[in-house]
Amino acid sequence: MRIVMVGSGYVGLVSGTCLADFGHEVFCVDTDEKKIASLRLGNVPIYEPGLSELVLANQAAGRLSFATSLEEAARGARAIFIAVGTPSLAEVGSADMRYVYDAARAIADVVDDFTVVIVKSTVPIGSGDEVEAILASRLPQERFAVVSNPEFLREGAAIEDFKHPDRVIVGVENERAREVMHDIFRPLERNAGPIIFTSRRSAEMIKYAANVFLAMKVTFINEIADLCERLDADVLDVSRGIGLDDRIGSKFLNPGPGFGGSCFPKDTLALTKLAIEAKAPIRLVETLVDVNERRKIAMARKVESACGGSVAGKRIAVLGLTYKPKTDDMRDAPSLVIVPELQAAGARVVAYDPEGVKSARGLLHGVEFAENAYACLAGADAAVIITEWDEFRALDLHRVKATLGKPVVIDLRNIYPIKTMKALGFRYVCVGRGLAGEG
């Protein structure tokens, strides 16, 4: 099937490439001419494990192409996905829908036969109706159908998530469109979760509800971690103990410096805004947004406390800047709050991240960036682990101690055993592990 993906950002590029790998003929379209020219040369602008190889393989096979002209790409296409960004509107919180609606208008100008228009962008509930209205104002009703197909891709594991999803959600209210969607995802029938067909609005709500629920789990365990520290309990034992309950599950129960990334912050804000407008405010979600922001500041205070109450004039080594490992994504990363807070308290910050330094340079000012972890640690008064990259788990701890100016490690991800660190003579401070994790 010929498929068009409008938008070649993270979601569009991963989705389009995986659909091409299923055997479909896919055109990824973007208005950014430099990006398209780079992609045509096989240069992938984002870091996602396995994506570059998959892009090159499908380009070579003739199944994946990149274009700036929607008209040319859409010729003969049975399905056109909208996968453009929906960032939060500053100081408002609701999703910015301009790019989605612009895409809908552009699609209306090129459709000449029945085409399924699939909204893959994360959009407020009811946005599919607006897309349908835009198309209907320019096209006969029998020439198109609008479908919601939200994405559930984890950065760092996006290809696996697309090819072996827990479920595929399809919000469709047209039988002909349902058949097209079934044909698109037919390759998943034998090796993935079920395809769930719902109403369009239900599909849009599923996306928000899923992300916000996961954000609530993260925030919940962070709050429990704080209580564990006060009551001398170990949050890792607590997390394991509750996570083995299959009604709860173990995922997203790892305490840390707060959530970030492209989805959770944006979607929690957008859902609270939607709920207020619908006169059905969700107090739990409103609270978690506030708690998560305060969490990041509290982690900076934790670093100060571990350094004797002040970081003024001290060299602080920060390991990890991205909001999670296996990505170069810096959007709403906890480091963007923690590092400036430390700088404001007088610290001299040196940082290292395996993939995020390029993006971080334009976001974190006055920071010295190191080429590797040991260069980052050299002579520092304390090391702070913000992102749990695998390479930080395997550091030579004897070398770490010898490299640091003072053997102080503040581990905001709990990646090291307390006994090991103390036996080596570190002042080791972690998160939510009672009195044992505070010295």
3-state helix/strand/coil string of the chain: CEEEEECCCHHHHHHHHHHHHCCCEEEEECCCHHHHHHHHCCCCCCCCCCHHHHHHHHHHCCCEEEECCHHHHHCCCCEEEECCCCCECCCCCCECCHHHHHHHHHHHCCCCCCEEEEECCCCCCCHHHHHHHHHHCCCCHHHEEEEECCCCCCCCCHHHHHHCCCCEEEECCCHHHHHHHHHHCHHHCCCCCCEEEECHHHHHHHHHHHHHHHHHHHHHHHHHHHHHHHHCCCHHHHHHHHHCCCCCCCCCCCCCCCCCCCCHHHHHHHHHHHHHHCCCCCHHHHHHHHHHHHHHHHHHHHHHHHCCCCCCCCEEEEECCCCCCCCCCCCCCCHHHHHHHHHHCCCEEEEECCCCHHHHHCCCCCCEECCCHHHHHCCCCEEEECCCCHHHHCCCHHHHHHHCCCCEEEECCCCCCHHHHHHCCCEEECCCCHHHHEC
Point out the domain boundary residue: 149, 171, 197.
197
Which residues of the chain register pLDDT less than 70? 90-92, 437, 439
Point out the domain boundary residue: 197, 223, 246.
197
15 in the same domain as 115? yes
Has residue 124 been placed in a domain? yes
Say what the pLDDT of residue 90 is.
65
The domain spanning residue 262 has which CATH number? Answer: 3.40.50.720
Domain of residue 336: give its range: 214-437
417 in the same domain as 314? yes
Are 332 and 323 in contact by the 8 Å Cβ rule? The answer is yes
232 in the same domain as 137? no
Are 26 and 65 in contact by the 8 Å Cβ rule? The answer is yes
Say what the pLDDT of residue 189 is.
84
96 in the same domain as 224? no
**Residues forming the active site:** 263
Has residue 202 been placed in a domain? no
Has residue 376 been placed in a domain? yes
384 in the same domain as 428? yes
Has residue 113 been placed in a domain? yes
Has residue 338 been placed in a domain? yes
236 in the same domain as 144? no
222 in the same domain as 171? no
Q: What's the rounded Cα separation, in Å, for the pair 232 and 260?
A: 28
CA 209 to chain centre: 16
How many domains is the chain built from? 2
227 in the same domain as 161? no
Task: Retrieve residue 141's tokens.
Answer: 């009703």
157 in the same domain as 66? yes
Say what the pLDDT of residue 180 is.
97
Q: What's the rounded Cα separation, in Å, for the pair 43 and 29?
A: 15
Point out the domain boundary residue: 168, 197, 226.
197
186 in the same domain as 47? yes
Say what the pLDDT of residue 99 is.
96
Residue pLDDT, tens place only, 42-76: 999 999 999 999 999 999 999 999 999 999 999 99
Has residue 206 been placed in a domain? no
233 in the same domain as 334? yes
CA proximity to 67, closest of 22, 16, 113, 105: 16
Are 82 and 100 in contact by the 8 Å Cβ rule? The answer is yes
261 in the same domain as 161? no
Has residue 296 been placed in a domain? yes
